[in-house]
Amino acid sequence: MAKNKQNTKENQEIMHENDTFEDAQNQELNNEQQNIVSDEAAQMNQNLNMELQEDAAENKNMETNADNEAENVRSDDELAKMTLQFDEMKDKYLRLSAEFDNYRKRTLKEKMELTKSAGEGILLNILPVVDNFERGLKSLEASKDIDAVKEGIHLIYATFTDFLKQQGIKPMDAVNLEFNTDEHEAITKIPAPAEELKGKVIDVVEKGYKLHDKVIRFAKVVVGE
């Protein structure tokens, strides 16, 4: 009876050891399974992260390519716009160049014509004076009245001086005026007949003339000293 109890106790201890061993094995198996699951989960997470990174990189590349394509399109548009502007400016330059060349030729032609006919009006107005001279010469040959000849000469002179006035030409006064180098040319000096005539024009050898306000011929004068 005591021996049976002892065997029973030993069997119980053996069973307990077996249960403990099985529990340890199960625990170890569970740990291994958990480690495997954890490794698989970590691997899956790593793979997922790699896929996400690849997708992000691909998206970034796609965005970069899209930006490059848009930039190329803008560059092409700007190049086309600049080409159009250049063509317009070139056409405008050619037109202006042609217009200026035509203007230059026309101006040169007008200048040449003006040069040829510049004195036409003056010469045309001189012709009546020549006509009067011719009539005066004929009268001088046929007339014996000296007074009539003088009158004719005065008439011709008056006609010619009127013509000069119409052209803006007028004689300059000089006698008894202070000698002025801007208008007078002294050809000689003589003793002044009076004290107040010293440094003044005593006589005019050749009249001076102005065209409007410009001296076109200096008066040749005698100056008192």
DSSP output for 28-39? HHHHHHHHHHHH
Give pLDDT, residue 3.
46
Which residues neighbour 191 within 8 Å (Cβ) at sequence distance 6 or greater? 224, 225
Q: Reduce the DSSP state of residue 207 to 3 states and report it.
A: coil
Question: Distance of CA 8 to CAs 16, 21, 35, 91, Å?
Answer: 12, 19, 39, 121
Token couple for 155:
């008439």
Give pLDDT, residue 201.
93
pLDDT tens for each residue of 57-81: 776 777 776 666 667 767 788 888 8
pLDDT > 70: percent of the chain: 74
Q: Which residue has the higher pLDDT, 128 or 98?
A: 98
Give pLDDT, residue 122.
76
Which residues neighbour 201 within 8 Å (Cβ) at sequence distance 6 or greater? 174, 175, 176, 177, 178, 179, 184, 219, 221, 222, 223, 224
Give pLDDT, residue 13.
59
pLDDT range class, residue 140, cuts 50, 70, 90: confident
Which residues neighbour 174 within 8 Å (Cβ) at sequence distance 6 or greater? 183, 184, 201, 204, 207, 208, 219, 221
Token couple for 201:
């024009």
Mean pLDDT of the chain: 79
Amino acid type, 13: E
Give pLDDT, residue 24.
61
Element housing 194 (H / E): none
pLDDT tens for each residue of 164-183: 888 889 999 999 999 999 99
pLDDT range class, residue 26, cuts 50, 70, 90: low
Q: Are strands 219-224 and 184-190 parallel, antiparallel or unpaired?
A: parallel
pTM tops 0.95, yes or no = no
Element housing 210 (H / E): strand 209-211
Q: Which residue has the higher pLDDT, 194 or 13?
A: 194
Question: Which residue in 121, 120, 128, 118 sits closest to 162, CA to CA?
Answer: 128
